[in-house]
Structure 1
Amino acid sequence: MTWKTETAPAATVPAAKSPRDTRIDVLRALALITIFINHVPGNFLEHLTLKNFGFSDSAEAFVLISGVSVGLAYRTRFAVGQRIAASAKILRRAFTLYVAHVMTSVVTFAIFAGGALWFARPDLLSEINLRAVVDRTEQGLPSMVLLGHQFGYNNILSMYAVLMLMLPGMLWLNARNPIALLGASGILWLAAGIWNIAPSNFLDDGYWFLSPFSWQFLFAIGIVASSKAATTSWPPKSAVLTGLCWAYLAISLVWVVLSLWSIDTSLGLPVVLTGFDKTFLSAPRLLHVLAFAYLIVTIPGISRLFVLPSSHPLTAVGRHGLAIFIFGTILAMIGQVLMFVTGKNPWFGTLYVACGIGVLLAYARYLDWFAGLGRTGAPKVEKQAA
């Protein structure tokens, strides 16, 4: 099974002819729920997430799925004669992501400040990189708005907004030569990892937690994969590749479970090639998520697990990716404050996260209901892009 099956965007092709690929929605939903779980550290469910069983985690999955999604959504809409209009829509989406990032950052600050006042715990304002804004408000607030300061657990949307700014160029290059896109993207990834190229923070000497100049490579791989699958049977099924992927996932599992991080794997090479750095997306993390993706797409028995009806709660969560991400971030920040004032009780955290997942599922259902108000027939399905 390839991404070619059931992948055309519902906005451009009638659903009856080429229905939406719900696997993408389900996988995005699982990534979003996992991000929510991990953003309330200290709960028992956190031990069941992907980061405990391999080199990559839900962030890599989210970016790869996003690349596949935009590749599917803009494959036909970025044709000659439509590129200016498509680019304008993409830039508007990037601005939406920027506004969403600033909004969630402000709400995060308000949640922790409110918790500090309500529970008489001023030490809350020293959590998740808030202190710099508290101590230097006149510099901190402009820095936050100008993306020069990021709070902990509030760094994915800003990176994704930059990826969307890069998207028109990626789509143009992909239309001309997908190999050229992968080559240029790979060179930028390598250079960013070797020389630590990332947007700077204004209030300290550091840089963004997730460098968009590194993560764009995974995004580009998703774009190329979706465009290739639309025109041919891709990725190719290979017993050798399948075996290598299983072997790599097994090695990664053993490495993480046995905590073999003290083993020197550098071989005198740059960290981006042999390390496990998340900021610059080191190769072991990149290969891990790609190995997972290859097995999911090429093994029918695994792929079918993610084919769910469009009415399924997980499919609904994936359809409303941005709204769910924002709402999940706010819930996670509330959860962090409550965990802090309850002594980080893992049982409380687990109960809170379990209830939070239920709230996210209910919110996705509400969004479907709201989108269908005033319409007859089936509710409108959003475009494949996140």
Structure 2
Amino acid sequence: MNSRAKIEPTTVKQVGLPKPAAPRDTRLDVLRALALLMIFINHVPGQIFEQFTSKNFGFSDGAEAFVLISGISVGLAYGTKFLPGNRLATMLKAVKRAFTLYNAHMITTFVTLVLFISGAWIFHQKGLLCEVNILALLMDPARGIPALLTLGHQIGYNNILPMYGALFLMLPLIMALEAKSPLLLLLISVGVWLVSGIYYIAPHTTLLEGFWFLNPLSWQLLFVIGFIGTMHVKRGGRIPVHPVLIALASAYVLVSFIWVTDKLWILGDYLAMLGLPTVVTGFDKTFLSLPRLLHVLALAYLIISIPSLSQLLRRSANHPLTILGRHSLSIFVAGTILAMAGQVLLYVTNKSPIVGAIYVVIGIAAQFLYAYHLEHKRLQLAGQRAQKAPAERISLPLHIGRHR
């Protein structure tokens, strides 16, 4: 009997090939970029461009937009990975991110100190030492330095990242509750927001009497709303779009616009006469009062619900705003440092409107250049990784029969 090899049909099986990634929603990057630019402009007070940021046309500003967008982004980055078998790793990743934010905050804080102290010395402007909560630190450095390191003392205009980092420390619990019941998470979140606002529960500052400027126990609600909404959509749900809801959101945004532009703040006294807690009727930023919360949510709903608005924000992947928003943390750190340098410059020039306007334009241009630099590095790194990866991961097992 002739011996021959029996070769069965080749079986082709893909092994370890990742699923194609969903296209990145550039609307989030664009909105994040706009929020970062408004925060930068608002952090250089006294120049003309400050009059055109969102805080002048409604109850909320760039900070509320940034936190809501962050909640949505965290839902995309972390929530979809919070699955059995991967939950501990996802929790640890969130905690690690919190420490990254802490390090970024320390960078902006100490650079701010260097800028203001150097400015006071070089330009003989001792008044700079009385700005942005620096004097208390210099008067008692033995208590002040530990207070800085433990976030018990925060330099003015350097208080977003501590709140944001605290939200990431809360994220493991937020994800666990959302996995159990999104409604339960929302109810607990609303309860924490309301109780902390009514009874003024917030992290205390240790060098000066008071609270953190942005209370994470209050701001977590906005973060959680973004997170829950994202998870709802990722699971196949939809955000209801109804003419009545669009009309209500539009009406609220319009009322807010008139209220702020016409400076009708005295109407707040009539709201206070209702006897409701200040967190419900006031406009406090520390405890994220309801009017501010509703304003940013109304704006977000209109963007989601009105196709023309949504499409306006959908830019290409290489659009300048998309690139700026993609590197949000690095740009935020750079923007904060530039804003602090701008404050020193405006102080020594007696808030010259020309100097302020020119500086803001240069500062914005510098942030875009930095974003393009970071994007170039990202693409280079991605290219290097692609070259190292196998051209294809395909297994071709050949089933060969026995010789006869």
Q: TM-score range by the shorter chain?
A: over 0.9
- How big is the shift at 1:203? 1.1
1:326 aligns with 2:330: no
The residue aligned with 2:20 is: 14
In structure 1, C-alpha distance between the alignment counterparts of 2:70 and 2:116, rounded to whole Å: 30
The residue aligned with 1:85 is: 89
Amino acid at match of 2:276: L
1:272 aligns with 2:276: no
The residue aligned with 2:45 is: 41
Q: 1:260 aligns with which of 258, 264, 279?
A: 264
Q: 1:105 aligns with which of 109, 120, 143?
A: 109
1:39–1:332 contact (8 Å) kept in structure 2: yes
TM-score, normalised to structure 1's length?
0.93
- How big is the shift at 1:377? 8.7
The residue aligned with 2:317 is: 310
1:215–1:280 contact (8 Å) kept in structure 2: yes
1:147 aligns with 2:151: yes
1:72–1:226 contact (8 Å) kept in structure 2: yes
Amino acid at match of 2:191: I
Q: 2:235 aligns with which of 231, 236, 239?
A: 231
Amino acid at match of 1:118: I
Amino acid at match of 1:358: A
The residue aligned with 2:67 is: 63
1:289 aligns with 2:289: no
Identify unmatched segments of 5+ residues in structure 2.
Answer: 1-17, 388-404
Amino acid at match of 1:202: T
Residues matched between the structures, number? 367
- How big is the shift at 1:376? 3.1
Distance 1:365 1:378, change over 3 A: farther
- How big is the shift at 1:374? 5.1
In structure 2, C-alpha distance between the alignment counterparts of 1:101 and 1:191, rounded to whole Å: 28
For the residue of structure 2 that corresponds to 1:376, the secondary structure is helix
Alignment of 1:215-254 (within 5 A): 215-254=219-258
1:138 aligns with 2:139: no
- How big is the shift at 1:230? 1.5
TM-score, normalised to structure 2's length?
0.89
1:27 aligns with 2:31: yes
In structure 1, C-alpha distance between the alignment counterparts of 2:198 and 2:305, rounded to whole Å: 33
The residue aligned with 1:164 is: 168
1:372–1:379 contact (8 Å) kept in structure 2: no
Distance 1:28 1:375, change over 3 A: closer
Amino acid at match of 2:338: L
1:371 aligns with 2:378: yes
Amino acid at match of 1:335: G
In structure 1, C-alpha distance between the alignment counterparts of 2:74 and 2:375, rounded to whole Å: 21
Percent identity (aligned): 52
In structure 1, C-alpha distance between the alignment counterparts of 2:165 and 2:151, rounded to whole Å: 11
Identify unmatched segments of 5+ residues in structure 1.
Answer: 1-11, 381-386
- How big is the shift at 1:351? 1.1
2:80–2:231 contact (8 Å) kept in structure 1: no
Q: Which has the larger radius of gyration?
A: 2
Q: 1:180 aligns with which of 184, 198, 201?
A: 184
